[in-house]
Amino acid sequence: MYQIDFQKPIAVHFIGIGGISMSGLAEVLLARGFKVSGSDSAVTPLTEHLEQNGAAVCRGQRASNITDDIDLVVYTAAVHPDNPEYAEAVRRGLPILSRAELLGQMMKNYQDAVAISGTHGKTTTTSMVTEILLAADADPTISVGGILHSIGGNIRIGNSGCFVTEACEYTNSFHSFFPTIEVILNIREDHLDFFKDLDEIRESFHTFAKLLPEDGMLIINGDIPDYQKLTGGLSCPVVTFALENGEADYRAADISYDEAGHASFDVLFRGTKIAHIALEVPGEHNVANALAAVAVAKALHVPDEAIERGLDGYTGTERRFETKGVLGGVTVVDDYAHHPDEIRATLLTAKKLKKKKIWCVFQPHTYTRTKALLSQFADALSLADEVVLAKIYPARETDTLGISSADLAVELEKLGKKAHYFESFDEIENFLLENCVPGELLITMGAGDVVKIGENLLGL
């Protein structure tokens, strides 16, 4: 594999530079004096920010974007060999790295490299760790999979030896990492266009855990079924956190919720109180995320007082139960949930708000996930009072499975829940305007562009 010397800047081209992770990596290289170029399908705030910092960004992907001065090409998992830029780089014999391989090489430059993994909760937990480290004046470098207002985006370039990043299991990309501290938040069925089943996913996480050096640390959710099988054979220390497992190292006690569903609780380490936390994000799942963040902070020797200051009042990142506004007395919230577990957690959180009715506008994400987890999606969505379904957001896929949101509507009807399915966002917006009434909660939900529905209604 091609190895970058980060002390000798070169010209790097990113295929898909506008992605939330790719844009962050590009910004890190720009800060280190590299010449950066890239391409993407659309102009976004992320690509505009990169251009303002000196990157050359092309709209659209074509072979001519691979120019003679490029030394290295970086691509995402969504890029296939027939991509014109990828194919041209191969024809020219240029070195090529995946996004994960580049990120892994970056991690080698830091004394403390924290990789936060799990089927869900990565962005929130990474953001919580960020807030704690900022409160401790630790000056970390951060790569987060969302927009975090306290760092002004998705990347923060620090000058210390601490680097924190999300670690995604899709295509086993996190196997290319070199972490010193890992977090495993949870493991559930997902990305079944790549993984065969849950057992294969668990094995992928086990392989990830085995990347840790002897002087590293694994922080794992003790509520994961048979989590000891994931930690077997590790040479490094293992620390657990949990909501249910009474033997976990880090636990929450005396949890209470305000009328907005925000949790306050004591953090116990092996039975001794070390902090009291009051979050400004709702839901029990965020208590678990906070426990993981505390465990990371303690592994990095952050004082308890800074942990409390970092997490007290934590308000989250964009698209994580984000209140977008109020329209005619209807509160409009947006959430990134696109897995049944995430949907269930979000809707259970919504119920704590005691609104007259919960409307959930859900946009399924990828055909394979929808087909594989169809009944689980229906079961989770049935927690809403009213379900409105948009067309499946294909992301990297094409429809070869004969699955649609209409099939999800049928599954919901089997559970006695009427679902409204519309082909276009315009139809959904008109339906909502006609049917939502003051005092109700409207949640747009999914990992695609469903957020536009709420924003259009609010005129944002």
What is the end-to-end Cα distance of the chain in Å, rounded? Answer: 46
Catalytic residue among 27, 76, 88, 123: 123
pLDDT tens for each residue of 278-332: 999 888 999 999 999 999 999 999 999 999 999 997 888 888 889 999 999 999 9
Q: 11-99, what's its fold?
A: Rossmann fold (3.40.50)
Catalytic residue among 27, 85, 88, 166: 166
What percent of the chain clears pLDDT 90, i.e. is strictly above it?
Answer: 85
Catalytic residue among 47, 88, 122, 130: 122
| Distance separating alpha carbons of residues 434 and 82, to the nearest angstrom | 46
Q: Which amino acid is at 381?
A: L
**Mean pLDDT score across all residues of the chain:** 94
Report pLDDT for 389: 98
Residue 166 designated active-site: yes
Average pLDDT of the segment spanning 262-273: 96
Q: Of 450, 457, 435, 447, which is closest to residue 357 (Cα–Cα)?
A: 435
Whether residue 454 has pLDDT greater than 80: yes
Q: Do the two domains 11-99 and 322-458 of this chain adopt the same fold?
A: no
CA angle (180, 185, 190) in 5-degree steps: 115
Average pLDDT of the segment spanning 20-39: 95
Provide the annotated binding site. Answer: 118-124
Helix or strand run (H / E) with residue 91: helix 84-92
Query: Which overall architecture, per CATH, does domain 110-313 show?
Result: 3-Layer(aba) Sandwich (3.40)
Cβ atoms of residues 19 and 76 within 8 Å: yes
| Distance separating alpha carbons of residues 286 and 390, to the nearest angstrom | 27
What phi, psi does 94 have (nearest 5°)? -75, 150
Helix or strand run (H / E) with residue 276: strand 272-282
Report pLDDT for 316: 83
Whether residue 141 has pLDDT greater than 80: yes
The b/e string for 214-245 (b: 16+ C-beta within 10 A; e otherwise) is eebbbbbbbebeebeebbeebebebbbbbbee
Spell out the domain ranges in the chain. 11-99, 110-313, 322-458
Please list the helix, strand and coil fractions of the chain in percent, rounded to the nearest 5, in that order: 35, 25, 40
**CATH class for the domain made up of 322-458:** alpha beta
Q: Which pTM was predicted?
A: 0.83
Q: Which amino acid is at 261?
A: G
| Distance separating alpha carbons of residues 169 and 191, to the nearest angstrom | 9
Q: Of 219, 208, 217, which is closest to residue 185 (Cα–Cα)?
A: 219
pLDDT tens for each residue of 323-347: 999 999 999 999 999 999 999 989 9
Structure tokens belonging to residue 152: 């002004």
Cβ atoms of residues 418 and 333 within 8 Å: no
Provide the annotated binding site for ATP. Answer: 118-124
Residue 354 designated active-site: no
